[in-house]
Amino acid sequence: MIIYNAKIYTMNNSDEIIENGYVKYENGKITSIGEGLPENADDKLIDAKGNSLYPGFIDAHTHLGLFTSGVGIEGEDFNEDSDPITPQLNALDGINPMDSAFEDARKAGVTAAAVSPGSSNAICGSIIAVKTIGKRVDTMSLGKIGMKISLGENPKMTYLDKDSSPVTRMAIAALIRETLSKAQRYMKDKEAGDETPEFDAKCEALIPLLRREIKAHFHCHRADDIFTAIRIANEFDLDYVLIHCTEGHLIADELKNENATVVIGPVICDKSKPELANLTSENGYILNSTGVEISICTDHSEVPIQYLPISAGIEIKNGLEFYEALKAVTKTPAKQLGLSDRIGSIEIGKDADLVMFSSNPFEIMSSPIMVVINGEEI
C-alpha cells in the first residue's frame, strides 16, 4: 500500500516535513517514505490529494475500557479501593475492548492509548498501552509501560470515607516508601539467590519499576504533591512521568531543573475539586515555553477520548504552538510510554499507524478523512 501526494509530518528526530511525499507500508509496518513516488510503484495507490498525513495520535493517560461507556457501576473496573496498595493489579485484566469508546477513539484519529488503573490507591497497579482496534486485548496490547502511583486528594478522600489509612498526604507517601523499600529487599534477596524469598505478588509487580524497565506514573495535581512525587522518585531512583501536573505552571522552572516530563490534562474540565483550584488552559504553554517536555491526555472517561485533538486545540488557543501540540499527541507520548521504537512518528520500521486530515486536525470541526492502524485502513 502506498499513500502519495501527501504533506507528511514525519515527527522524526529531525522534525522533517515532506511537502509532497509518499508512505509505503506492508504487513503492518512502514517500509518506505520519501518525496514524490517510489520507482516501480506497483502497489495499491491512495492519492492523498495534497492533504496532511500525521502519525496516529496517542493518548498518554486514560482509563479506556476500564470504564464501559453507558453501563454504570457494573462497568467501572479501574478503582480497586479495597486496599490502598495494589501493585499486583494489571490493567490488561480489566479492559473491555468492546466498549464503544474504542470506536470513538479511532474515528478521532487516536490509534493508541495508555490505560491505567484508577487513582484511589497510593499504588494502583500496572499500566498498559493498547492499540484502539481489536476484539481481544491480549493482541491489542503494546505491553506494560508503567506503574500507577497516586498522591493527594484521591487516595486521601477514598480512605477517609473508609475510616482507614491513609487519610493524610504524609500517610500516602509513607505507604509508598514502605512498599518500595520492601520490594527492594525482596528483589535483592531474589538476586542474591542464597534463599529464595516466599512469593509476594506485590513485590514481584514492583521489580520492573525498581529496575527502571517501566516508569512510575505519578498522579499529582498540587505543587506540593508534584514535589513529593519527585522526592520519592529520586529516593528510589525511579524513571517517572508526572500525570496531570495541574499546578505545573506555578513551578515550571523547578520542573525544568529536575528534567521532569509531564502529561497534562484533562484540559476540558472545570475546577471540580479543591486541588484543581489553580487549573488553567495555559498550563501546556507555560510548561513548554519553560522547556518542560509535555504531552496531552484526556484522562478518559473524565473527558471522552475522542476529544484528544480538541484538547490540543484548546492548548493552542492558549499559547501552545501548533507543532508543539502535535508533538504532544504523537512523538512525546510515544517517548514517555517507552514506545518510540513502534509508534509516534512516520519512519521506516515503525507501525503503520497514520491519520490524514484535509484541515487543521485540532479545530473543532475537523475529522480525519483516513485512519490506518497496523496497516489496516479503518
pLDDT tens for each residue of 145-158? 999 999 999 999 99
Percent of the chain with pLDDT over 90: 93
pTM comes to: 0.98
Q: Tens of pLDDT along 130-180? A: 999 999 999 999 999 999 999 999 999 999 988 899 999 999 999 999 999
- Quick check: 63 and 300 in contact, CB under 8 A? yes
Backbone angles phi, psi at 48, to 5 degrees: -75, -10
Structural domains of the chain, with CATH: 1-56+344-378 (2.30.40.10), 57-343 (3.20.20.140)
Could you tell me how far CA 215 lies from the centroid of its own chain? 11
- Quick check: 2 and 37 in contact, CB under 8 A? yes
| 186 Cβ contact list (under 8 Å, min separation 6) | 197, 200, 203, 204, 207
Q: Tens of pLDDT along 292-346? A: 999 999 999 999 999 999 999 999 999 999 999 999 999 999 999 999 999 999 9
Strand positions, DSSP E, 221-367: 240-244, 261-264, 293-296, 354-357
Quick one: average pLDDT of 90-117?
98
